[in-house]
């Protein structure tokens, strides 16, 4: 009886604590993911409208750009007329990326080319209305950061549940000590009373 009660108390406490931690850690993960997306989107919008990245045919001013961010200028028929000079990709790779991006009927979104995920933002040039500026962000570092965060969350969550289980088991044992003593006293009282009654009847 006491073993089942102890197990029930331990499991209840562990499950409740585990669910609370799951909720909190999931919140941290979602918040971090949304924060990274907002950060990259803000950077992309800044690149799209900033004067430092204005259109200058084949002579871009983006040497200080993070290599995860780059932009491409295309004309009204989709031909590349300018690219930022911080690219590590080949012209053919960029051309394929632009072609696939132009097929997407959205100004902001994600695209996967040859196993690499990119986030893109389309924005018409402030200086040439016939030119479309497409800003890209290679999401690989962001994805890796989120994977690392998820690994940490799973590890911390597992350790927390294990510690909670052991602590709950210890606390359940301590909480049941008075109950056990009371139960033993009650059993002794009933046994003594039964003995006295049998003695009187005899």
pLDDT one-digit tens code per residue, 19-50? 888 899 899 999 999 999 999 889 888 888 87
Answer whether 80's CB lies under 8 Å from 55's CB. no
pLDDT one-digit tens code per residue, 50-90? 744 444 444 444 444 457 888 888 888 888 888 887 777 77
Integer angstrom CA distances of residue 91 from 24, 39, 82, 97, 162:
45, 27, 11, 10, 53
On whether residue 40 sits in a domain, the answer given is no
User: What are the b/e assignments for 190-199, b being 16+ CB within 10 Å?
Assistant: eeeeeeeeee
Q: Are residues 97 and 168 in the same domain?
A: no
Structural domain containing residue 130 = 50-138
Q: Are residues 151 and 133 in the same domain?
A: no
Q: Are residues 7 and 72 in the same domain?
A: no
The model carries a pTM of: 0.67
Q: Are residues 23 and 86 in the same domain?
A: no
pLDDT one-digit tens code per residue, 79-118? 888 888 777 777 888 889 999 999 998 999 999 988 889 9
> 8-12, 55-59, 124-128 — which is least confidently predicted?
55-59
Q: Are residues 127 and 153 in the same domain?
A: no
On whether residue 43 sits in a domain, the answer given is no
**Residue 123: pLDDT band with limits 50, 70, 90:** confident
On whether residue 95 sits in a domain, the answer given is yes
The full DSSP string for 68-90 is TEEEEEE-TTS-EEEE-TT--S-
Q: Are residues 103 and 155 in the same domain?
A: no
Q: How many domains does the chain fold into? A: 2
Q: What is the pLDDT of residue 115?
A: 85
The mean pLDDT of the chain is 79
Q: What is the pLDDT of residue 119?
A: 93
More confident call, 115 vs 200 = 115
Q: Are residues 116 and 55 in the same domain?
A: yes
For residues 130 and 21, give the distance between their C-alpha atoms in angstroms, rounded to a whole number: 53
| Token reading at 176 | 């049941």
For the chain, give the percent of residues with pLDDT over 70: 74
On whether residue 41 sits in a domain, the answer given is no
Q: Are residues 95 and 129 in the same domain?
A: yes
């Amino acid at each position: 009886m006491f073993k089942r009660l102890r197990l029930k108390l331990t499991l209840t406490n562990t499950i409740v604590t585990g669910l609370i931690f799951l909720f909190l850690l999931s919140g941290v993960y979602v918040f971090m993911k949304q924060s990274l997306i907002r950060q990259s989107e803000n950077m992309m919008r800044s690149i799209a409208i900033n004067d430092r990245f204005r259109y200058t045919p084949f002579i871009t001013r983006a040497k200080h750009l993070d290599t995860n961010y780059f932009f491409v200028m295309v004309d009204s028929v989709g031909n590349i007329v300018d690219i930022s000079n911080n690219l590590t990709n080949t012209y053919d790779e960029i051309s394929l990326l632009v072609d696939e991006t132009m097929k997407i009927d959205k100004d902001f979104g994600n695209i996967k080319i040859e196993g690499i995920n990119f986030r893109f933002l389309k924005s018409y040039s402030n200086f040439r209305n016939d030119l479309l500026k497409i800003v890209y962000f290679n999401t690989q570092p962001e994805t890796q950061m989120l994977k690392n965060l998820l690994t940490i969350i799973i590890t911390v969550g597992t350790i927390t549940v294990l510690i909670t289980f052991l602590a709950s088991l210890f606390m359940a044992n301590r909480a049941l000590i008075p109950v056990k003593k009371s139960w033993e006293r009650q059993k002794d009282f009933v046994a003594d009373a039964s003995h006295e009654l049998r003695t009187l009847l005899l």
